[in-house]
């Protein structure tokens, strides 16, 4: 290529010199520089930006990025037992087909008239989540499960006019950090410890802490450590007895087998939908949901978009639009509820596709298969001398805590040895939950075959003995 020729960039059609000139003539200026005349000289960048040489041709770019990505080991070529908030579940091909569609992928803030499809798809997503949760209001997705929990807590504080939140049982320390940050400076977040036997909420600690100042009792089911709550009703009752709202965090993929929280008295339900058809993507597939009963006082506290169904001027035609838009920051800036903006709509559409493909039977089956496989893995690990698995009493879903105290090896050492055999061992909990000892959080989903589990167990056995 002749270096003297200016580059005509494929993404910048009017970089072609003759068109550029034609447009300048039309505007009536001599150069593009004239269009920047109001930026003071002192603020102008004098030097050219210091960037690496670009890959102007598409094949070169592809080669470059492929080479970088080749430095990553993947959960396709390794056996993965890590979860802790990001889960490797089955992603049906149709989910990827739909979220890769140009029309959905590249749309943004279209009106119900030009982007009718996204309104209907997101209304349907909310509707299917509503069936899973047995609740009548579900938002257009917020950023992630962290945000959904933090906003649910803020909603509960506004509803009660109180400013103390009790976060009970096992929760991701990262999530707790985010919630604490998000609730500053006006809400105090108090952590209620876990029961060392059941791994669930420490009931007496909760009873001691709760008072008339408490706005919200928050707990997760299953918890961060995988435990299924066995006393949901007691927890919601204690919250209600003190005039507090009860917020329950769930992973919707568990709701084919675990009761929806509304059944045991939850007021607000929230969580992450990544399990419903999103690839793990180094944590890029997260998206949050918030659900409540259909009462004005709840609905008006949502910061999120809520898409509602409505007739149009043509009989029999479904139309959609924003419900109670005037509560949002789009409408009234800082007077609105928190804020609304770009969040995770495409993952909401994808989760809708997932739920439609799975159907009622699929959801029930996936829940049972996950429980079968995870319990099998825990049972097999427990056969290794010095390994305790699962460390808590009670049922668990997908994840369980494995203690290696009596093996004489740290989780880090075990995981390094597993990695050498192509296995990503469970998440090391020794920093986050030092009181549990030398523990790891193992995650087993419907994708783990018996042979995969057996291979991991054999590797652990060999490493610790």
218-237: which residues touch other proteins (CB under 8 A)? Answer: 221, 228-230, 232-233
Question: Using the rule CB under 8 A, which residue among 376, 406, 455, 461 binds other proteins?
Answer: 376
Minimal distance, residue 79 CB to other proteins, in Å: 11
Minimal distance, residue 245 CB to other proteins, in Å: 19
Question: Using the rule CB under 8 A, which residue among 40, 161, 204, 435 binds other proteins?
Answer: 40
Minimal distance, residue 213 CB to other proteins, in Å: 19
Minimal distance, residue 463 CB to other proteins, in Å: 15
Q: Which residues of 100-119 are buried (b: 16+ CB within 10 A; e: fewer)?
A: eeeebeeeeeeebeebbbbb
Question: Using the rule CB under 8 A, which residue among 311, 386, 408, 434 binds other proteins?
Answer: 311
Closest residue by Cα to residue 402 from 448, 447, 462, 461: 461
388-389 and 399-403 as β-strands: parallel, antiparallel, unpaired?
Answer: antiparallel
Using the rule CB under 8 A, is 272 a contact of other proteins? yes
Q: With contacts defined by CB under 8 A, name the span among 18-26, 155-163, 212-220, 399-407 that binds other proteins.
A: 18-26
Using the rule CB under 8 A, is 420 a contact of other proteins? no
Site for other proteins, residues 193 to 212, rule: CB under 8 A: none
Phi, psi dihedral angles at 203 (to 5 degrees)? -65, -45
Minimal distance, residue 196 CB to other proteins, in Å: 20
Per-position x/- string for 46-65, each x denoting binding to other proteins as judged by CB under 8 A, each - no binding:
--xxxxxxxxx-x--xx-xx
40 SS3 class:
coil
Using the rule CB under 8 A, is 137 a contact of other proteins? yes
The whole-angstrom separation of Cα 219 and Cα 156 is 14
Matching residue, tokens 């004005």: 296
DSSP string across 167-193: EES---HHHHHHHHHHHTTT-EEEEEP
Cis peptide before 390 (omega within 30 of 0): yes
Using the rule CB under 8 A, is 346 a contact of other proteins? yes
Phi, psi dihedral angles at 291 (to 5 degrees)? -135, 145
Q: Which residues of 270-303 are buried (b: 16+ CB within 10 A; e: fewer)?
A: bbbbbbbbbbbeeeebbbbbbbbeeeeebbebbb
Using the rule CB under 8 A, is 130 a contact of other proteins? yes
Contact 196, 184 (CB under 8 A): no
Site for other proteins, residues 379 to 418, rule: CB under 8 A: 379, 394-395, 415-416
Site for other proteins, residues 285 to 304, rule: CB under 8 A: 286-287, 294, 296, 299
307-311 and 268-272 as β-strands: parallel, antiparallel, unpaired?
Answer: unpaired
Question: Using the rule CB under 8 A, which residue among 159, 167, 349, 381 binds other proteins?
Answer: 349
Using the rule CB under 8 A, is 249 a contact of other proteins? no
144 SS3 class:
coil
Please give the distance of CA 425 from its chain centroid, rounded to a whole number.
22
Site for other proteins, residues 99 to 118, rule: CB under 8 A: 99-118
Phi, psi dihedral angles at 226 (to 5 degrees)? 90, -5
Closest residue by Cα to residue 182 from 210, 218, 212: 218
Minimal distance, residue 170 CB to other proteins, in Å: 16
Using the rule CB under 8 A, is 7 a contact of other proteins? yes
Per-position x/- string for 141-180, each x denoting binding to other proteins as judged by CB under 8 A, each - no binding:
x-xxxxx------x-----------------x-xx-xx-x
Question: Using the rule CB under 8 A, which residue among 169, 199, 260, 271 binds other proteins?
Answer: 260
Contact 442, 400 (CB under 8 A): yes
Minimal distance, residue 408 CB to other proteins, in Å: 22
Question: Using the rule CB under 8 A, which residue among 170, 270, 358, 387 binds other proteins?
Answer: 358
């Amino acid at each position: 290529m002749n270096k003297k020729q200016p580059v005509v960039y494929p993404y910048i059609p009017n970089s072609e010199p003759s068109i550029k000139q034609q447009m300048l003539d039309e505007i009536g200026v001599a150069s593009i520089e004239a269009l920047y005349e109001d930026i003071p000289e002192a603020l102008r960048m004098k030097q050219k930006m210091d960037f690496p040489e670009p890959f102007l041709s598409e094949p070169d770019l592809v080669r470059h990025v492929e080479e970088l990505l080749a430095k990553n080991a993947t959960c396709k070529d390794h056996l993965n037992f890590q979860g802790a908030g990001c889960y490797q579940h089955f992603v049906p091909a149709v989910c990827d087909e739909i979220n890769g569609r140009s029309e959905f992928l590249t749309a943004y803030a279209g009106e119900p008239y030009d982007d009718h499809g996204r309104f209907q798809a997101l209304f349907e997503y909310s509707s299917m989540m509503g069936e899973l949760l047995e609740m009548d209001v579900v938002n257009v997705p917020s950023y992630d499960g962290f945000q959904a929990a933090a906003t649910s807590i803020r909603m509960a504080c506004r509803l009660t006019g109180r400013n103390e939140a009790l976060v009970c049982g096992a929760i991701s320390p990262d999530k707790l950090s985010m919630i604490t940050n998000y609730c500053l400076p006006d809400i105090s977040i108090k952590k209620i410890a876990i029961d060392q036997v059941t791994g669930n909420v420490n009931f007496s600690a909760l009873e001691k802490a709760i008072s008339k100042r408490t706005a919200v009792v928050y707990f997760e089911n299953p918890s961060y450590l995988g435990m299924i709550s066995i006393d949901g009703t007691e927890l919601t009752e204690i919250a209600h007895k003190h005039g507090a709202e009860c917020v329950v965090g769930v992973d919707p993929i568990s709701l084919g087998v675990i009761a929806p929280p509304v059944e045991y008295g939850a007021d607000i339900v929230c969580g992450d939908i990544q399990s419903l058809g999103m690839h793990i993507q180094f944590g890029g597939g997260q998206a949050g949901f918030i659900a409540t009963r259909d009462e004005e006082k709840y609905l008006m506290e949502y910061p999120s978009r809520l898409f509602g169904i409505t007739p149009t001027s043509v009989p029999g035609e479904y139309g959609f639009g924003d419900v109670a838009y005037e509560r949002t920051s789009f409408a009234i800036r800082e007077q609105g509820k928190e804020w609304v903006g770009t969040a995770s709509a495409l993952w909401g559409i994808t989760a809708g596709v997932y739920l439609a493909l799975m159907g009622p039977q699929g959801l029930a089956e996936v829940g049972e298969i996950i429980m079968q496989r995870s319990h099998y893995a825990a049972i097999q690990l427990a056969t290794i001398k010095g390994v305790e698995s699962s460390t808590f009493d009670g049922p668990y879903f997908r994840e369980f805590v494995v203690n290696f105290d009596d093996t004489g090896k740290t989780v880090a050492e075990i995981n390094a040895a597993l990695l050498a055999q192509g296995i990503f061992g469970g998440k090391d909990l020794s920093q986050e939950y030092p009181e549990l000892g030398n523990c790891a959080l193992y995650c087993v989903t419907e994708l783990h075959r018996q042979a995969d589990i057996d291979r991991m167990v054999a590797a652990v056995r060999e490493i610790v003995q």
